[in-house]
Chains A and B, each alone.
Chain A
Amino acid sequence: TQLLEQSPQFLSIQEGENLTVYCNSSSVFSSLQWYRQEPGEGPVLLVTVVTGGEVKKLKRLTFQFGDARKDSSLHITAAQPGDTGLYLCAGGFGNEKLTFGTGTRLTIIP
């Protein structure tokens, strides 16, 4: 069974601060995705990374895939209240279904 552990589980910070959340696994994935989920809605894809060591930027969000393709991080610069939500990483391997992580619930305090 492939497990994806995310840390921290909960994070509450002031607007304008920077933060990093982590996604770790003992398994290798061929691709890793990050989603954000808001209350009452389904997750929305933010990014997909497929190459070990890959870094992708989406405005104030920076995503990195570990060299061994077992872990990933999401860094947010100058957090804003609109960044509040549940952040989920998900690993894919071949044609198997995506395995989702345990989630990080982020709250940005204005």
Chain B
Amino acid sequence: NAGVMQNPRHLVRRRGQEARLRCSPMKGHSHVYWYRQLPEEGLKFMVYLQKENIIDESGMPKERFSAEFPKEGPSILRIQQVVRGDSAAYFCASSPLGSDAPYGYTFGSGTRLTVV
């Protein structure tokens, strides 16, 4: 039973390019969360999605960032026109019943984005 799969593990983009980060949740999990982590810091919430729905995007910057979780296929976090400040580790997590369940989140290994 595969865990949460994120790809790519490492992504290098030049300023102004687009970054696409993919996340396939655990089988049977319908809730997906994206978090960003800067070095030596905790996890900052970005967006919470269910299939074809954005439930909470309060942590997402208003511009350049978007996320989707289509009916078929992985969840995508898209960053347009990347800037150096976007460099971070981006983690995806999934859960079967949402955050209030005692199951917790299962995290992927993250995508480390470096903007040069």
Contact = CB atoms under 8 A, between A and B. Distances in A.
B100 A45 contact: no
Given A45-B106, A48-B102, 6 more contacts: A33-B105, A41-B110, A42-B93, A97-B48, A98-B105, A103-B42
Interface of A: 6, 30-31, 33, 35, 40-45, 48, 50, 88, 90, 92-103, 105
Contacts of B105: 33, 43, 45, 90, 98
Given A42-B109, A42-B110, A45-B105, A100 B42 contact: yes
A100 B108 CA distance: 16
A31 to B, nearest CB: 6
B45 interface: yes
B17 interface: no
Contact of B100 (A31, A44, A103): A31
Contacts of B48: 97
In this complex, the member of B98, B103, B105 whose beta carbon has the largest number of chain A beta carbons within 10 angstroms is B105
Contacts of B33: 97-98
Give chain B's interface secondary structure class.
loop
A44 B4 CA distance: 12
A49 B24 CA distance: 27
Which of the listed residues A42, A45, A90, A93 has the most CB atoms from chain B within 10 Å of its own CB?
A42
B43 interface: yes
A56 B107 CA distance: 22
A96 B45 CA distance: 11
Contacts of B91: 42-43
Contacts of A92: 99-100
Nearest to A47: B104
B45 A102 contact: no
B40 interface: yes
